[in-house]
């Protein structure tokens, strides 16, 4: 085993080229949209940004989770997870258009005084006293800097330590330190994501609030990230060296976790609905008044059936979770459904028309393509397995044939 | 010993590898009614024994569905049919409020079906078993590995089975009586 290097196969380079190409072309096309229809561009951009943010920081959460729990499943996907977290610099860059140009299109409520950026000082649409001090442009920028600094810090700690471990497999103290940092790191990730989701998405409707909103994002991000990992390991396993590493039991474990995250997400989402529905308060039900009727109601049913019920019942089966052809398809489907869910979460604040625009096709391709290209580039920088992990040999040992 | 008193013939092994090898050889020789005993789970042993997938997952699914449908149905029956009450102007079939109980009863139904389905299928609890008649069998829970070819096997022949176990290097070969 020690003689093997586990370098990324040729297919990763091809993925990188294709993803950059698709992402680059789509980005050029979308710039046209940004110039001619910024009021359509930025809602699409926010949705796409939130999707790739989920792939990035969701992977950060999963990475810390696997350090904390140290299962074999985590050793198999540790390097792809690390590569996904190293896409964070791209997230900083892709956040800039929102911060520089997008604020007035996103947080001004179409000039009707419904957004927090232009809320009237008094009267019906006025913000509360606390919101007046919290939801300000300078507060928005300051907090965004804090979020990214914390994420980048966590990314740095776990990537550098993992690299050190490759060189010093015997270093027990290093392994212990990773474990000790992972617990507080997860708490930090959930806190930061809660605040970030409030700033970037929930503040689209400043008079509505939900305390579980951040968890909806956290659970959704775990689905996105785990789905990506399943797709990536199956892709890597098409060729050596990963082909002789990945076994059905690994896929089974990853599939079980995906099912668990899916149920967690559904549980959070339903909790929010149940509490608001039971409370029946005018200021709370606005969220569902706009999202459960007419066209948006159709989207809600699509999300319920195709984001939850269909993948849930499929993933219940052991044969599906162990199937290297079916499982990655469900995973990629779930990433797509994450996008639909983000569409349903954010877009009703902009329009009552529940139809995607051409930018909703181009922008996810642009940001997703660039992200995937960068991810593939990152994947080539390190061996595909954490060679210094003391449990590696056991994790990739063959039991079945 | 009369043939009807004979449960089977048992071979003892020192390592899991020897056990796996022996099970494979015995299966190759055409015997199907056999079982292996080890102090800890051995990867690949189920496959070597040719154990098939069982019905527990299907029973669990049915239990879950019964629990879920029953749980929702009972709430609907109580709240909308037999005792309709207007609570805060909400509809009688207030399905969002029924979901938590439905969910819990799905889990309850599935877990009970899994536990009792498993017990029914493997016929546990089973306080006595003929293999306990072999004195050395106590080692099966500490440091030894056993294969027992059962007399119920249509090809069973005491001498042949004993010879086969000898060929796969069993350390001890014992007849197992039924009582």
Angle at A184 between CA A179 and CA A187, to 5 degrees: 130
Instruction: Determine, for residues B90 and A280 on separate chains, whether the beta-carbon distance falls below 8 Å.
Output: yes
Give the chain A residue nearest B90 (alpha carbons): A278
The reply to whether A300 falls in a domain is yes
CATH 3.30.70 residue window(s) in chain B:
3-53+128-177
pLDDT in tens, A252-298: 999 999 999 999 999 999 999 999 999 889 889 999 999 999 899 99
More confident residue, A70 or A13: A13
Rg (CA), chain A: 21
- Closest residue by Cα to residue B101 from B67, B60, B65, B63: B67
Confidence of residue A2 (pLDDT cuts 50, 70, 90): very low
State the DSSP code for B13. Answer: E
Burial of B109-129, coded b for 16+ CB within 10 Å and e otherwise, reads bbeebbeebeeeeeeeeeeee
Minimum distance, in Å, between the CA of residue B175 and any CA atom of chain A: 33
Judge whether A275 is closer than 8 Å to chain B, CB to CB.
no
- Chain B CB contacts of A278 under 8 Å are 96-97
Tokens of A269: 């989402």
Tokens of A77: 């996907």
Minimum distance, in Å, between the CA of residue B50 and any CA atom of chain A: 14
Among the listed ranges A40-54, A123-137, A193-207, A251-265, which one has the minimum average pLDDT value? A123-137
Instruction: Determine, for residues B100 and A400 on separate chains, whether the beta-carbon distance falls below 8 Å.
Output: no
Mutate to test the interface with A, among B43, B48, B52, B65 (most CBs of A within 10 A): B43
Whose tokens are 């029973």? That residue is B59
What pLDDT, on the 0 to 100 scale, is given for residue A111?
59
Closest Cβ opposite residue B57 in set A270, A318, A399: A318
Judge whether residue A362 has pLDDT over 80: yes
For residue A256, count CB atoms less than 10 angstroms from its CB and return exposed for 0-12, middle for 13-18, buried for 19 or more: middle
CB pairs under 8 A between A and B: 20
What pLDDT, on the 0 to 100 scale, is given for residue B104?
95
- Chain B CB contacts of A274 under 8 Å are 96-97, 99-100
- What's CA B95's distance to the chain center, in Å? 39
The reply to whether A399 falls in a domain is no
The reply to whether A4 falls in a domain is no
Tokens of A178: 């990773």
Closest Cβ opposite residue A400 in set B44, B57, B90: B44
CATH code assigned to B3-53+128-177: 3.30.70
Element (H, E) at A380: none
- Chain A CB contacts of B57 under 8 Å are 318
Minimum distance, in Å, between the CA of residue B172 and any CA atom of chain A: 28
Instruction: Determine, for residues B61 and A277 on separate chains, whether the beta-carbon distance falls below 8 Å.
Output: no
pLDDT in tens, B59-87: 999 999 999 999 999 999 999 999 999 98
pLDDT in tens, A69-127: 988 899 999 999 999 999 999 999 999 999 999 998 999 876 566 789 888 888 888 88
The reply to whether A395 falls in a domain is no
- Mutual angle of helices A10-36 and A38-69, in 10-degree steps: 150
Judge contact between A121 and A76, C-beta under 8 A. no
Q: Going by C-beta distance under 8 Å and a sequence separation of 6 or more, which residues neighbour residue A329? A: none
The reply to whether A208 falls in a domain is yes
What pLDDT, on the 0 to 100 scale, is given for residue A390?
82
Instruction: Determine, for residues B100 and A274 on separate chains, whether the beta-carbon distance falls below 8 Å.
Output: yes
Helix/strand/coil for A37: coil
Judge whether residue B48 has pLDDT over 60: yes
Instruction: Determine, for residues A399 and B97 on separate chains, whether the beta-carbon distance falls below 8 Å.
Output: no
Minimum distance, in Å, between the CA of residue B100 and any CA atom of chain A: 9
The arithmetic mean of pLDDT across residues A31-47, rounded, is 94
Q: What is the rounded average pLDDT for all residues in chain B?
A: 91
Closest Cβ opposite residue A274 in set B57, B88, B99: B99
Q: Going by C-beta distance under 8 Å and a sequence separation of 6 or more, which residues neighbour residue A401? A: none
ipTM above 0.85, yes or no: no
What span, in angstroms and rounded, lies between the C-alpha atoms of A106 and A118? 11
Closest Cβ opposite residue A270 in set B43, B44, B99: B99
- What's CA B153's distance to the chain center, in Å? 20
- Chain A CB contacts of B47 under 8 Å are 400
Instruction: Determine, for residues B96 and A318 on separate chains, whether the beta-carbon distance falls below 8 Å.
Output: no
User: Order of strands, edge to edge, in the sheet holding B172-177?
Assistant: B34-37, B145-150, B6-13, B172-177
Instruction: Determine, for residues A274 and B61 on separate chains, whether the beta-carbon distance falls below 8 Å.
Output: no
Count how many domains chain A has. 1
Instruction: Determine, for residues B61 and A316 on separate chains, whether the beta-carbon distance falls below 8 Å.
Output: yes
Q: What domain range is A298 assigned to?
A: 10-383
CB atoms within 10 A of CB B174: 21
Judge whether A278 is closer than 8 Å to chain B, CB to CB.
yes
The reply to whether A391 falls in a domain is no
The reply to whether A1 falls in a domain is no
The reply to whether A180 falls in a domain is yes
Work out whether the CA dihedral A294, A264, A208, B95 comes out positive or negative.
positive
What span, in angstroms and rounded, lies between the C-alpha atoms of A79 and A75? 8
Helix-then-strand count for chain A, H and E: 17, 0
Minimum distance, in Å, between the CA of residue B13 and any CA atom of chain A: 21
Minimum distance, in Å, between the CA of residue A195 and any CA atom of chain B: 28
- Chain A CB contacts of B99 under 8 Å are 270, 274
SS3 content of chain B, % helix, strand, coil (to 5): 55, 15, 30
Give the chain B residue nearest A317 (alpha carbons): B57
Minimum distance, in Å, between the CA of residue B52 and any CA atom of chain A: 14
Instruction: Determine, for residues B47 and A400 on separate chains, whether the beta-carbon distance falls below 8 Å.
Output: yes
Confidence of residue A330 (pLDDT cuts 50, 70, 90): very high
Judge whether A170 is closer than 8 Å to chain B, CB to CB.
no
Find the chain B residues whose C-beta atoms sit closer than 8 A to any C-beta of A. Answer: 43-44, 47, 57, 61, 88, 90, 96-97, 99-100
């Amino acid at each position: 085993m020690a003689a093997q290097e586990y370098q990324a196969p040729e297919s990763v380079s091809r993925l990188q080229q294709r993803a950059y190409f698709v992402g680059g072309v789509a980005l050029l096309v979308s710039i046209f949209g940004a110039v001619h229809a910024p009021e359509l561009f930025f809602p699409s951009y926010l949705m796409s940004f939130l999707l790739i943010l989920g792939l990035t920081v969701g992977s950060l959460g999963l990475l810390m989770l696997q350090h904390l729990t140290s299962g074999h499943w985590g050793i198999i996907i540790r390097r792809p997870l690390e590569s996904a977290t190293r896409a964070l610099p791209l997230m900083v860059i892709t956040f800039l258009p929102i911060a520089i140009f997008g604020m007035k299109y996103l947080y001004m409520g179409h000039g009707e005084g419904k957004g927090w950026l232009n809320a009237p000082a008094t009267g019906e649409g006025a913000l509360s006293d606390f919101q007046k001090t919290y939801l300000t442009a300078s507060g928005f920028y300051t907090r965004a800097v804090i979020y990214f600094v914390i994420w980048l810090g966590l990314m740095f700690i776990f990537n550098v330590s993992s690299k050190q471990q490759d060189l010093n497999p015997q270093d027990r103290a290093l392994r212990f330190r990773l474990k000790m940092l992972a617990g507080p790191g997860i708490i930090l990730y959930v806190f930061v994501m809660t605040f970030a989701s409030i700033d970037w998405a929930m503040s689209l409707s400043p008079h509505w609030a939900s305390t579980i909103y951040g968890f909806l994002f956290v659970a959704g991000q775990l689905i996105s990230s785990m789905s990506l990992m399943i797709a990536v390991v199956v892709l890597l396993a098409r060729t050596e060296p990963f082909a002789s590493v990945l076994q059905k039991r690994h896929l089974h474990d990853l599939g079980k976790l995906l099912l668990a995250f899916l149920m967690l997400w559904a549980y959070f989402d339903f909790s929010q609905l149940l509490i608001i529905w039971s409370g029946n308060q005018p200021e709370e039900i606005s969220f569902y008044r706009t999202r459960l009727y007419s066209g948006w109601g159709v989207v809600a049913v699509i999300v319920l059936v195709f984001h939850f019920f269909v993948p849930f019942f499929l993933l219940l089966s052991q044969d599906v979770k162990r199937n290297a052809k079916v499982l990655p398809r469900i995973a990629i489907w779930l990433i797509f459904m994450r996008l639909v869910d983000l569409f349903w979460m954010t877009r009703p604040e902009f329009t009552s028309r529940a139809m995607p625009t051409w930018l909703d096709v181009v922008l996810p391709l642009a940001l997703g393509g660039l992200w995937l290209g960068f991810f593939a580039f990152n994947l080539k920088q390190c061996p595909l397995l954490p060679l210094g992990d003391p449990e590696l040999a056991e994790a990739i040992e063959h039991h079945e044939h | 010993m009369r043939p009807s008193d004979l449960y089977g013939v048992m071979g003892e092994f020192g390592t899991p590898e020897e056990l796996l090898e022996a099970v494979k050889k015995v299966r190759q020789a055409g015997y199907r009614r056999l079982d292996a005993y080890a102090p800890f789970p051995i990867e690949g042993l189920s496959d070597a024994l040719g154990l098939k997938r069982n019905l527990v997952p299907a029973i669990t699914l049915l239990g879950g569905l019964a629990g879920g449908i029953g749980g929702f149905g009972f709430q609907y029956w109580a709240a909308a049919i037999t005792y309709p009450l207007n609570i805060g102007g909400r509809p009688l079939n207030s399905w969002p409020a029924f979901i938590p109980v439905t969910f819990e009863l799905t889990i309850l139904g599935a877990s009970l079906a899994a536990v009792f389905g498993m017990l029914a299928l493997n016929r546990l609890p089973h306080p006595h078993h003929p293999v306990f008649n072999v004195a050395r069998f106590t080692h099966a829970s500490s440091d030894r590995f056993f294969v027992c070819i059962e007399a119920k096997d249509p090809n069973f022949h005491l001498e042949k089975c004993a010879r086969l176990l000898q060929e796969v290097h069993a350390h001890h070969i014992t007849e197992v009586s039924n009582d």
